[in-house]
Amino acid sequence: MNQTTNGSTDTQSALPVAAPTHAHHAELWSELSRREAALVNAVAGGEDYEPLRRELVAFLRGEVLHHLQTEEMVLYNAARGAGAHALVDALELDHYSLVRLVDHIDQATTGLDAALSARALTVLFVLRIEKEEGVLVPTLTAAGVDVSTLIAGRPEMQGSDQH
C-alpha cells in the first residue's frame, strides 16, 4: 500500500464507488426481504398467508417491476450502445425469470409453493442487483457513460430520497 500525495493510499483510492442505484436497491431489498419473510413465516406457522401473498405480489408488480422496466429502457440501451450485448442478454434472462417467479407466487396453489417461489425470487433479485452494481454500472462507466445523469429525475431508479 503506497501513500499518495493527498495522504490517501492506493488501496483506498482503488475502492469501488457505490453505484448510483445502490441506495434504491437497498430500499427494494429491505422491503422485499421483509415481505418474503412474513409470507414464509405465515406459511410455516399454518396461518392465513393470502393477504401477505397479495401484498408481496402487488409490491413486486409495482415498485420492483417498475424499477426493472425503467432500468431496461435506460441502462440496457446504454449498455447495448457501448457494445455490451452479451451482458444485456444475460440481464434480460434474469428479468424474464423474475417476472415468471412473480406469476408463480401469484398463482401457486399451496402456501408452500408460494413461499418457495418467493424465496427463489428473493435470491435471484439479490444476484440481479449484484450484477447491475458490480458489472453493468462499471461497464457503462468504463465506456464513458455517466449513470448518475442517465437516471437523474427517475425516482423509480433512485428511491425515496429523490422523490
Amino acid at residue number 137: V
Specify the stretch interacting with Fe ion by CB under 5 A; choose among 1-9, 21-29, 31-39, 144-152: 21-29
Please state the closest distance from residue 136 (CB atom) to Fe ion, in A. 9
Residue matched to cell numbers 442517465: 150
Please state the closest distance from residue 35 (CB atom) to Fe ion, in A. 18
Q: What is the footprint of Fe ion within residues 119-138 (CB under 5 A)?
A: 132
Specify the stretch interacting with Fe ion by CB under 5 A; choose among 16-24, 39-47, 96-104, 143-151: 16-24
Q: What is the footprint of Fe ion within residues 44-73 (CB under 5 A)?
A: 71
- Contact between residue 132 and residue 91 where contact means Cβ atoms under 8 Å apart: yes
Please state the closest distance from residue 146 (CB atom) to Fe ion, in A. 17
Q: What are phi and psi of 37, to 5 degrees?
A: -65, -40
How far is residue 108's CA from residue 117's CA, in Å, rounded to a whole number? 8
Please state the closest distance from residue 132 (CB atom) to Fe ion, in A. 5
Q: Sign of torsion, CA 134 99 62 146?
A: positive
Q: Give the distance between the most distant pair of CA atoms in the chain.
A: 64
| Residues in touch with Fe ion (CB under 5 A) | 21, 71, 132
